[in-house]
Amino acid sequence: MRSWLSTLAGGIAAASLIGSGAVAQDDAARQVAPTPAPTRAPAPGASFDEAFPQMVSEPMVQGDLAPPGPIIQEWSLENANALVNVIKGIGAEGLNPAEYNLEQLRMLLLEGESDELNALASKSFVWLVEDLRDGRTPADARVQWFVVDPDRDRFRTGDLLTQALETGDVAGTLASLHPTHPDYARLREELAVTPESEAAKRKLIRANMDRWRWLARDLGRQYLITNVPEYQLRLTVNDKIIRSYRTIVGKPGRTATPQLAEMVEGVVFNPTWTVPQSIVRGEGLGQRVLNNPSWARANGYTATRGANGYITVVQQPGPGNSLGQMKLEMPNPHAIFFHDTPSRHLFANANRALSHGCIRTERALELAITMAILGRGATKDEAVAISSSGKYTKVMLEREFPAYITYFTMATDIDGELRTFNDIYGRDAPVLASFDKPRVENRSGESDDEIIVIEDDLQDS
C-alpha cells in the first residue's frame, strides 16, 4: 500500500485508506456520478510541506501602522501622463475609461502643473484603486454577498498614491491590485478577443472579472473554493486543483446559498443533528418521536420535553443521519457549512440546486480525512480510526483552511475550460445593470441583505 502522503499528493482518493466498509458506502455514488479527473497535483514523491505548503496570505497584523498617505498629492506632468495612459487602457480590465475623468485630465495636462491637476489626478487615481481593489459593482447589486474583503486594510489608498508618485510607477502600482487567481487573467484574455459587437458576452465577462475583485486579491496558498452555479468544490494548492467534489447547493429563493469567505476550524466525524423547530413543531416530528419510540430508534432520533413543553429532537450518528458521516466546522452567522448526505444518488442530477442552503459534498469522508490531516488535527491513522468509530468526534485543526463560497457564471471549469454556467439564482441581472449606471462611490462592503439562518437544510429533496 502506498504511503498516505503519496496517495494524497498524487490525487488518489483518501477514502481508499479507511477500509472496505466505508468504501462500499461511497462506491454506489461513485458509479452513478464518476469524479472528473483532477487537473494538476503535486508530484507523488513530494514531502508533506512541499505538497501542501503553509499559507502565506495570513491576515495583516493590525498594529501601530503609520497613518495612510494623503488622498490629494502633487502630480508631475510625467506621472499625470502615465495616469492618463493607464486610464486609456483600463478597458482591458473591464472598466470604462470615461468614468475616470480621461478627457478632463488630458485638457489639464495641456495647461501644465496646477492645483486643479493635482486634485483631479488624485481623485481619478483613488477611483481606480477603489474599483480595481474592491470592485466597481455597488454593494446593493451584490445579492447575498457577505464576504469581508481584507484588501482595503492591506492596500490602503493613500499609501498606494504615495508609492505611485514617489516611485514614478503609476501603472505598476495600480496593476499590483489585480486578483492573482488565474481565472481573472483568463477572463481578461477572453475579453480581449471578444468583439465589441458581442455586447452581452462582453458585459458578462466584465461582471465576472469584477466578482474576482470582490474577493481578497490573494486567496492563499491552500484553500477550499466552490462555485455555486457549477456545483463543484475544489481543494486547491497554489491555485491548482488537487481534488474536486460535486456539490448540492441551496434551492433558488429564500434558501439560496449565500456567498461567504470563512475559515474551516475543524472536522466533525459522525455528527449529530439537532433538528430545527421548523421540523420539530412545524412538521410534527417531535410528537412523532415521543409517540413512536420504535420508529424513533430505527431512525436514530431521541427527544426530550422541557418543563415548558418545549421538545428538542436530536438525530444520533448513523448511516441515516441527515448530515451523513461528516461536516466541516465553519462558524458563521448564516449556519452554512459543507457536509455529507445519505442521499448520495442526488449527485448524479444535472441540476443540483436542491438543498436548503448548506453545501452537501460528494465523497465527503475522503474530504474530511484529507482536511483533518492537512490541518494537522489528526494523523492518517487517527483520522481513519475516528471516522470508522461511529462516535461523534470533533477534530480541531491546527492549521485552519480558508473556504470560499463564490458565484461565477463565467469561469474555468474543473477541466480547465472557460465556460458559462446557469445563473440559477438570478444574481447576474443587478451586476450587469450596474455597468449601465454611473459609477457609485463606497461600493465595497458586505451586502445589506437579510442574513437568513439556514434551519432545515438537511431534509431529502
Q: Is the pLDDT of residue 440 over 70?
A: yes
Considering 410, 430, 445, which residue would you say is the last residue of a domain? 410
Same domain assignment for residues 41 and 84: no
CATH number at residue 42: 2.40.440.10
The answer to whether residue 24 sits within a structural domain is yes
Same domain assignment for residues 401 and 258: yes
Dihedral angle, C-alpha 56, 58, 64, 68, nearest 10 ° = 80
In terms of C-beta density within 10 A (0-12 exposed, 13-18 middle, 19 or more buried), how is residue 84 classed?
buried
Range of the domain at 123: 77-142+149-216
Same domain assignment for residues 209 and 90: yes
**pLDDT tier, 45 (very low <50, low <70, confident <90, very high otherwise):** very low
The answer to whether residue 236 sits within a structural domain is yes
The pTM assigned to this predicted structure is 0.84
The answer to whether residue 341 sits within a structural domain is yes
Closest CA to 363 of 4, 15, 9: 15
The domain total for the chain is 2
Q: What pLDDT shows up at residue 452?
A: 63
Same domain assignment for residues 47 and 178: no
Instruction: Convert the pLDDT of each residue in 256-282 to its tens digit.
Output: 999 999 999 999 999 998 888 878 888
Same domain assignment for residues 406 and 346: yes
Dihedral angle, C-alpha 160, 165, 167, 172, nearest 10 ° = 60
Same domain assignment for residues 126 and 185: yes
**pLDDT tier, 179 (very low <50, low <70, confident <90, very high otherwise):** very high
Same domain assignment for residues 259 and 209: no
Instruction: Convert the pLDDT of each residue in 289-313 to its tens digit.
Output: 999 999 989 889 999 998 888 899 9
The answer to whether residue 161 sits within a structural domain is yes
The answer to whether residue 255 sits within a structural domain is yes
Give the chain's radius of gyration (CA, Å): 25
Phi, psi of 220 (to 5 degrees): 115, 175
Same domain assignment for residues 195 and 168: yes
The answer to whether residue 333 sits within a structural domain is yes
Considering 180, 198, 216, which residue would you say is the last residue of a domain? 216
Same domain assignment for residues 207 and 228: no
Same domain assignment for residues 248 and 107: no
The answer to whether residue 66 sits within a structural domain is no
Same domain assignment for residues 185 and 245: no
Considering 382, 410, 438, which residue would you say is the last residue of a domain? 410
Same domain assignment for residues 263 and 385: yes
